[in-house]
Structure 1
């Protein structure tokens, strides 16, 4: 394992974040804070508790997950797209660096950025809502696992996209709607039985439900199922990345 090459890619990607702090960190934190103000403080004060949890606190895991997933995809996809777009990816591929080391460098940096952002949003939420984390170790583990999974998904999108517009299609047209319909702002138990069944086909439900369990000990789906679904999605992404490097899809053409 060439740790020097991993460190070089990782440090390069992290340095880009510090150069764009307003866009990479401040903007998502401020946007999520507005959700806390509107839904947590204004609307939440007029709503009854859900599963014994105040509405303002109930939406915290969903909002963190929403930012975590979108930022993980954005960071990883842009990170690999720019070298592909500019042609510098060929220099990386011709260097004595394995596919595994390239993925660890890019995905590791993207996941680190997203994890830091998620923790910042969690700290910011304390300014607006009072909450407790019942299972902090599980919460952190789920946070990191989701960041790695969606960073790898973003890496795939970055390789697939050949225009800047394509980088935004899946996050805006698929991930964001699935997040809003995945129980970010409500419990799926509040839906009619038919729509509860339909909602279970939404993979984001399992992510939000498992993350919410780590906070309050309540979930729409069993924690084991949520963790299992996340690991399955991670495995699918790993297989897709393996296939990309095996075939050279859009990297060697």
Structure 2
């Protein structure tokens, strides 16, 4: 494995993040804080608890997951699309660097950015409500696994996209709505029985539920099922990326 190549790509992407720290770090944290203030104050005044957890604390895992999913996808998609847009991707492809090493560099940087954001938002939430993490190792593990998985998805989107507008389609029009409908601000147990079954078709439900369990031991579905669904999605993304480099899809003209 060419570790130097992976680190070169990784450091370049991380340096770009710190050059645009207001856009990459500060802006998402402020946006999530506003979600917390608006939903926590407006709805929290009417709903004091959900399944024995104060509403303000209950929505924290969902808000972290909302940021994690969107930022992982957007960071990774832009990271690989920009070299395609400028033509520098061909320099990377002609270098003695494997597809696995290229993906590791870009996906690793995107996942790192998202994890940093998630931890900052977690620290910020303590300014608003007291939070206790019942299973910190599970929380960290699930945070990393989700960030890597959706960074892989973003990597796929960045190769598929023909323009900057297409980069926004999946994060803004698919992932964000699914996150809002996936139990970010509520438990699916409060839904009517029919809608509870329909909600299980939303893959984000499993992500939010598993992550919330690590905080409060409260979940809409079994944590084992949440972990299994995430691993299935991870393997599917890895298979697609392998096929992309195998066939040269949108990389070779």
Shorter-normalised TM range = over 0.9
Residue 252 of structure 1: how far off its partner (Å)? 1.1
Q: C-alpha offsets along residues 44-71 of structure 1, whole Å, 9 cap, x if unaligned?
A: 1331310100000000011000000000
Q: C-alpha offsets along residues 155-205 of structure 1, whole Å, 9 cap, x if unaligned?
A: 000000010000000111110110000000000010000010000000000
Cα distance in 1 for partners of 2:73, 2:217 equals 28
SS at match of 2:214: helix
SS at match of 2:172: helix
Cα distance in 2 for partners of 1:130, 1:43 equals 18
Cα distance in 2 for partners of 1:50, 1:43 equals 12
Residue 38 of structure 1: how far off its partner (Å)? 1.3
The equivalent of 1:2 in structure 2 is: 2
Q: Does 1:240 align with 2:240?
A: yes
The equivalent of 1:206 in structure 2 is: 206
Q: Which runs of 5+ in 2 are unaligned?
A: none
The equivalent of 2:40 in structure 1 is: 40
The equivalent of 2:76 in structure 1 is: 76
Residue 132 of structure 1: how far off its partner (Å)? 0.7
Cα distance in 1 for partners of 2:131, 2:231 equals 28
Equivalent runs, 1:186-225 vs 2, <5 Å: 186-225=186-225
After TM superposition, where is structure 1 displaced by more than 2 Å over at least 4 residues in a row? none
The equivalent of 1:109 in structure 2 is: 109
Equivalent runs, 1:1-253 vs 2, <5 Å: 1-253=1-253
SS at match of 1:129: coil
Residue 36 of structure 1: how far off its partner (Å)? 1.4
SS at match of 1:45: coil
Cα distance in 2 for partners of 1:199, 1:46 equals 24
SS at match of 1:13: helix
Cα distance in 1 for partners of 2:102, 2:180 equals 33
Mapped contact 1:41–1:128 kept (Cα < 8 A)? no
Cα distance in 1 for partners of 2:221, 2:136 equals 19
Aligned residues: 253
Q: Which runs of 5+ in 1 are unaligned?
A: none
Cα distance in 2 for partners of 1:48, 1:128 equals 15
**What TM-score does the superposition give when structure 2 sets the normalisation length?**
0.99
Residue 42 of structure 1: how far off its partner (Å)? 4.1
SS at match of 2:139: helix
Mapped contact 1:135–1:215 kept (Cα < 8 A)? yes
**What TM-score does the superposition give when structure 1 sets the normalisation length?**
0.99
Cα distance in 2 for partners of 1:185, 1:118 equals 17
Residue 20 of structure 1: how far off its partner (Å)? 0.3
Q: What is the root-mean-square deviation of aligned Cα atoms in Å?
A: 0.7
